[in-house]
Amino acid sequence: MSRRDCLDRLQNAAPAVLPSLLLCDFGNLEREVRRLEEAGVAALHLDVMDGHFVPNLTYGMPLVETLRRLTTLPLDVHLMITRPERYLSQFVDAGADLLTFHVEATQEPRPLLEEIRKLGAAGGLALNPATPLESLENSLDLCDLVLVMSVPAGFGGQAFDPIALEKLRRLRELAPRMLLEVDGGVNLSTVAECVSSGAHLLVVGSAIFRHEDYAAQVRRLTQSAAAAALKG
């Protein structure tokens, strides 16, 4: 999928619930993907952790390759890794359509964003709750997306930090046409406020995967997000 096609699909779907696969049943991955497709999700969110930039350790290129074979949905890959510049081409080759890395992981984000575009993928920056927006303002012109973390990166199931809402509102002012994504503690209690603050893409983990009926949960979350978007 081209960068433009990926961005168009996500923009047209917004506000969209993107399931984070950290909590899915990896022993039945194809079944999990089919359940999410049937639920009508717009893309899949993949959290890549290296055990160094964050204390947790997850998956890498092989899982991205597997998912690319299983689905035509856009793959939104969130790199929580040290020295992300070493792996950009590998993840795009594996099938990543959108590649986001942390502003805290590099002193010079602009060359990495330029490289992602050269590779034909969409690119973005992520930042943790404690990181000020000023750290990425000089790179916004090269971002297709900014991922605002509402919990410190590294583990699922954490409580939502409302500082993310302030950042979303400020980013909406700074770059009104850019995709904004929020990740961490997004559920039925927080999704509407995220959308009202400017979020287009809502990364959800336990609020989907801790429930038996994925489609019903995606529907509830999407309806809440859509209602908030209509209110403006």
Q: Which residues are catalytic?
A: 47, 183
Helix (H) or strand (E) holding 28: none
AA identity, residue 140: L
Task: Tell me whether strands 122-127 and 98-102 are parallel, antiparallel or unpaired.
Answer: parallel
Residues 6+ apart with CB under 8 A from 123: 98, 99, 100, 112, 113, 116, 117, 142, 143, 144, 145
From CA 47, how far away is CA 39, in angstroms rounded? 20
DSSP at 89: H
Query: Hunting for tokens 């997000």 — which residue is that?
Result: 225
Report the half-sphere exposure of 111 (CA within 13 A, side-chain side). 7
- Cis check for the bond before 15: say yes or no (omega within 30 of 0): yes
From CA 63, how far away is CA 48, in angstroms rounded? 10
From CA 189, how far away is CA 35, in angstroms rounded? 24
DSSP at 95: T
